[in-house]
């Protein structure tokens, strides 16, 4: 709900097009999508000219480019682009050979030769797009691990079937991102992936307070039943990774013995506190108010100034 299906994303369509061309070099539709990705100095008019010339010659675009002499190719495109097209043809044929002889090496070689992730640098949502490419690579590695004798064509058939299953409608479970769930409520709610590194995301560009707010949004979508789940390990980006339970489960007091309530009059920025009405929050500032201390507290995005005697330290 509220998002593109995985296989409908532009960067995933590009990857699938690469795989289709490597499997079938005569696939003009897929070739046109990736012939200038990464950029090889080919504009739409030039690609259309190559396609028209190949039709007149009675050949597929790939076959047409492969059989042209250097002078003929340079008559259609600039000299630099002609050289890059020659390299492109050679790389596709090499990857085709690898996919037939050592498929377990294929996906690493694809990234090494065509540098798909580098083409995404500077684009809007770069980190998300790169993560999607990594996820696709992980899917491929997992497939090869489970089916060591499978071919590239069989992998493509498998993901085509998966994509078609996305169209199934009727009585179903609704799956969505936390962002897409804002403003909605459900009788029975499941929040999955409550692990460090997933919720919250940890790393460059991540904001722990924003992650905490999202965690609060997620669990407050439930009307009757709430289930939070985490795993001890996950097959992620093609590798098995050990994971720790999300700190948010502890902070919410859902693990026995995970929280210790303390009577404390000394507070500092970053302390976790609990208020009987607003629930758990994090101290963002401390100031003197007569004999008391006034705390500026963030309750999952709801900021309040409250006297220290009205909260308990966690």
Quick check: 110 pLDDT over 70?
A: yes
7-18 burial: b if 16+ Cβ within 10 Å, else e: bebebbebbbbb
For the whole model, what pTM was predicted? 0.59
Q: What is the pLDDT of residue 168?
A: 57
- How far apart CA 68 and CA 72 sit, in angstroms, is 6
Mapping DSSP to helix (H, G, I), strand (E, B) and coil, where does residue 145 land? Answer: helix
Strand runs (DSSP E) across 221-311, as ranges?
A: 222-228, 233-236, 239-242, 272-275, 279-289, 292-299, 302-307
Question: Distances from the Cα of 30 to the Cαs of 58, 60, 64, 100, 258, in angstroms?
Answer: 18, 12, 15, 20, 53
Q: What is the pLDDT of residue 23?
A: 92
Q: What is the pLDDT of residue 237?
A: 66
The pLDDT tens digits for 65-108 are 888 888 887 788 888 888 888 888 999 999 999 888 888 888 98
Q: What is the pLDDT of residue 2?
A: 62
Q: Could you give the angle at which helices 10-23 and 126-146 cross, rounded to 10 degrees?
A: 40
pLDDT above 70 covers what percent of the chain?
90
Give the closest residue to 206 by CA, choosing from 128, 133, 284, 277.
Answer: 128
The pLDDT tens digits for 15-56 are 999 999 999 999 999 999 998 888 888 888 888 888 998 999
The pLDDT tens digits for 178-212 are 888 888 889 999 999 999 888 888 766 677 888 88
Q: What is the pLDDT of residue 262?
A: 44
Quick check: 260 pLDDT over 50?
A: no
Q: How many CB atoms lie within 10 A of CB 223?
A: 11
pLDDT above 90 covers what percent of the chain?
26
- How far apart CA 85 and CA 63 sit, in angstroms, is 12
Strand runs (DSSP E) across 158-243, as ranges?
A: 186-191, 222-228, 233-236, 239-242
Contact 280, 297 (CB under 8 A): no
Report the range of poorest mean pLDDT among 24-28, 146-150, 170-174: 170-174
Q: What is the pLDDT of residue 197?
A: 85
Q: What is the pLDDT of residue 165?
A: 57
- How far apart CA 184 and CA 290 sit, in angstroms, is 43
Contact 97, 88 (CB under 8 A): no
Consecutive H or E run containing 15: helix 10-23
């Amino acid at each position: 709900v509220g998002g593109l299906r995985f296989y409908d994303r532009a960067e995933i369509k590009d990857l699938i097009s690469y795989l289709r061309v490597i499997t079938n070099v005569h696939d003009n539709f897929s070739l046109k999508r990736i012939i200038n990705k990464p950029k090889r100095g080919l504009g739409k008019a030039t690609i259309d000219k190559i396609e028209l010339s190949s039709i007149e010659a009675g050949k597929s675009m790939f076959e047409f480019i492969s059989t042209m002499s250097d002078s003929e190719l340079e008559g259609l495109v600039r000299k630099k682009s002609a050289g890059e097209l020659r390299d492109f043809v050679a790389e596709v044929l090499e990857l085709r050979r690898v996919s037939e002889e050592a498929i377990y090496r294929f996906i690493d070689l694809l990234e090494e030769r065509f540098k798909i992730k580098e083409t995404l640098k500077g684009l809007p949502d770069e980190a998300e797009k790169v993560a999607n490419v990594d996820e696709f690579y992980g899917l491929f590695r997992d497939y090869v691990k489970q089916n060591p004798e499978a071919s590239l064509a069989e992998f493509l058939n498998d993901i085509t079937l998966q994509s078609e299953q996305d169209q199934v409608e009727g009585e179903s479970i609704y799956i969505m991102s936390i962002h897409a769930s804002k403003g909605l409520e459900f009788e029975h709610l499941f929040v999955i992936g409550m692990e460090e590194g997933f919720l919250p995301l940890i790393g460059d560009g991540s904001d722990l307070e924003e992650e905490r707010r999202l965690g609060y949004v997620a669990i407050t979508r439930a009307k009757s039943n709430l289930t939070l789940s985490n795993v001890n390990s996950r097959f992620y980006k093609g590798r098995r990774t050990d994971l720790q339970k999300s700190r948010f489960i502890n902070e919410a007091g859902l693990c026995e013995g995970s929280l210790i309530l303390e009577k404390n009059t000394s507070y500092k920025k970053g302390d976790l506190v609990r208020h009987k009405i607003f629930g758990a929050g994090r101290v963002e500032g401390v100031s003197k108010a007569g004999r008391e201390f006034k705390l500026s507290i963030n309750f999952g995005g709801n900021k309040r100034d409250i006297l220290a005697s009205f909260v308990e330290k966690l």
